[in-house]
Each structure stands twice: as C-alpha cells, then as structure tokens.
Structure 1
Amino acid sequence: MGILAGRRIGFAMAASHCNLARAVKAMEQVVAEGAEVIPIFSHNVQTTETRFGAPEDWLREVERITGRRPLTTIPEVEPFGPRKEVDCTVVCPCTGNTLAKLANAINDTPVCMAVKATLRNQRPVVLAITSNDILGINARNLGFLLAAKGFYFVPFGQDNPHAKPTSVDARIEEFLVPTIAAALEGRQLQPLLLGPAG
C-alpha cells in the first residue's frame, strides 16, 4: 500500500514539451503509490509534435501507465466539479502560460477546467511549475497563486540562474508524490524554495 492508496488524482499535462518525459515518469510514481490517475491533456500536448515527441506517443504512454485514455476536452473534464471525481488535481508540467491563466481565472483549456472544477469542491491543486519566465513578468502570477487558497507547489528552484535568470523548475522527480500527500492533508511541503539545480 503506497501513500496515495485509494486516492483519485487528476493528472493534467500542459505543454512544456521538454518536460513531458519527466511528467510521465512522475505519473508512474503516483500510480506506484496506489493512486488511481485520471490523465488530462492540454490542447497543445494533444496536437503539437516536437523534437521531444509526438502527441500519439504521449497518449499511448499515458494510457499504458494509467489504463485510461487521457481526457482532452473541456466537456470531458467539467464533471470533475459536480461529480467530485478527484481528491486532488496535479498540473505537471505547469507552464508559465497555464500559471498565468490560473492566476487570472481564465478557463479555456481542459487543464484549466480540471483546476477550476477541483477548487470548486475545495480540494487541493498541486502545481509543478517549469518555465523560463516564472521570475520575469510571470512572477506576479506566481505570487498571486502562492497566496491563493487551494494551491500547493512542488518545491522549485532556478535551473540555470546565470544563463536563464528568470527560469524556474519544480523538482518533480523528488518531490511530486510528497507534495501531493501533504496537499491532501492541507499543508504545503517545505522547504518550498530550493537552491539552483545541479
């Protein structure tokens, strides 16, 4: 029995394409800890092929891990609210674009709808932020969500402070599962702010 046994976790993937492989491995960790995972893909994860992989590859891998085909539309995710489908929703990876939308109550993607529906039920949302602009103009959105009720963050640090001084990366591999467990207890895993990677 893992620390997430019996929990239903929405696992929403935004299009930080270079971090999708990390997110898939983290999803495996969540499943290994006993959770039932409901995967959700943003529009760009569904449609954009990059040097990091093709949409059909991500879909096939996530379906293998979870036994479920990812939810890909707003109407598919909307029932999370009235049906109270999940105990927690994770956004991993959480792009700067998604972070900004959440901070401004914009609800135009399956990922944002999953978050909105989870918060409606006063259940936790865990964000694993990975973006080159988090400490730039997006810092105001980070600050807003750090103070907002219901949001919890995977501990993060700068991944390359000299070459990319505004870039922030959540330490998904080490801390995603413990952050979810803490969020389900209503607390933020600490320490939140970590030193530079490597």
Structure 2
Amino acid sequence: MTKATIGYAMCGSFCTFSQAFEQMQKLVDSGYRVLPIMSGNAYSTDTRFGKAEEMVKTCEDITGEKVLHTSVQTEPIGPKKMCDLLLIAPCTGNTLAKLSLGVTDTSVTMAAKSHLRILRPVLLCVATNDALGASAQNIGRLMNTKNIYFVPMRQDNCIKKPNSLVADFSKIEECVELALQGKQHQPIFI
C-alpha cells in the first residue's frame, strides 16, 4: 500500500546526486510513490558526476515514472493535488533565492509554488556553497514561511568552504514523515 506521494525535485548540485538517488530509492522501498522532477539544468547538463541522460534514466528506473522537467509539466501539481509533499533534494542556493523571493522560472520553483498554493508541505534539502553567506538571508526567510520545512544541515568543509552547508540526506525519510504531520525536524543545524 502506498504511504503518500512525494514529488522529488532535483536541482543542479550534481555532487550530491548519488545521495539523492539513494534516498529516492529508500522512499520507494518504504512504500512511497515518488514523482520525479528535475530542473532544466539537472535534466540536461552533463557534468563530471555523470551524463544528464544517465541521471534522468536513474530517476525513471527508481520511480517507474517519467521525469517532469518543464514548468508546463509541473504547474498542475497543486491544482491536481499530485503530491502530498514536495521534496527538493538537492536544493541549491539559486533555488533557495528564487523560492524566498517568489520567483517562478524553473520546473522546480513552479512545482513548489503550485504545491504551496494548496497549503501542502515543501521540504528543502539544502546543498549550497554560500548557505552561510549570500544564501543565509534566504534560508532565514524560508524558515519563517508557512509549510516550508528543512532537512537538518551541517557545514561540509568548514576550512576550504566556510560558508557551505549540506543537508544530511540520510534524514530525508524521517523529515518527510514529520513534514507530513506539519512538524519541523529538530535540530535544523547539526
């Protein structure tokens, strides 16, 4: 029996994709229906971490669903109540900024806007090199936004990247369960 439907949106923090795919598989294995969503960059950019085509195929193989990757595809998420929760993992600094300012110009930000308009939870799994710099104000703003929740995060390399934070991807399922109940996992910062 399916527990709930999770929209699983991925942005371009490519170095965290292996962790994101691992957690996507765990959600599926735990009985969640997972609807994959990718930003245009995540969907089409080849990087040293893999070819875009392979990343898309991995999402589709894990979930058994086609990846939604355009704003036209993700706009109905809210009106059609396609998800019980929207998870953005990884959530880049760019996406944090857009969400905090109400900018809707990607498939992921459209999915979030559409989902939030029906008052359903959005869970952010941050991965950005400027979380304690330029993105700090956006994180703060989003922490005070109704129906926005965060996966706990920590500095990933405080010497070489002192402003960088990465969420603890291993806590995604626990945070999904809490956010579905309207609760924020504590502590937020590890």
One-letter identity of the residue aligned with 1:48: T
Correspondence for 1:142 among 121, 139, 151: 139
Q: Which residue of 1 aligns with 2:78?
A: 81
Structure 1's unaligned 5+ residue stretches are none
| Pair 1:192 & 2:157 matched | no
Structure 1 position 6, deviation (Å): 2.5
- Alignment correspondent of 1:182: 178
Structure 1 residue 147 displacement after superposition:
0.9
Give the counterpart of 1:7 among 4, 20, 40.
4
Q: Secondary structure at the match of 2:16?
A: helix
Q: CA deviation at 1:163?
A: 1.6
Aligned-pair identity in percent equals 43
CA distance in 2: counterparts of 1:69 and 1:56, whole angstroms: 13
Give the number of equivalent residue pairs: 190
How far apart, CA to CA, are the structure 2 residues paired with 1:6 and 1:109?
A: 28
For the pair 1:34 / 2:31, whether they are aligned, the reply is yes
How far does residue 193 in structure 1 lie from its aligned partner after superposition? 1.0
> Separation in 1 of the partners of 2:30 and 2:113?
25
Structure 1 residue ranges, 4+ long, deviating more than 3 angstroms after superposition: none
Q: Which amino acid aligns with 2:189?
A: L
- Return the letter of the residue paired with 1:178: E
Match of 1:64, SS? Answer: helix
Distance, in Å, in 2 between the alignment partners of 1:29 and 1:190 is 21
Q: Which residue does 1:109 correspond to in 2?
A: 106
Distance 2:150 2:10 in 1: 15
TM-score by length of 1: 0.94
Q: Deviations over 1:107-132 (max 9, x none)?
A: 00000011111101110000000010
Give me the TM-score of the superposition, normalised by structure 2. 0.98
Superposition deviation, residue 33 in structure 1: 1.3
Aligned counterpart for 2:127 among listed residues 122, 127, 130: 130
Q: Does 1:58 align with 2:55?
A: yes
Kindly report the root-mean-square deviation, in angstroms, between the aligned alpha carbons of the 2 structures: 0.9
User: SS in structure 1 opposite 2:173?
Assistant: helix
Q: Secondary structure at the match of 1:106?
A: coil
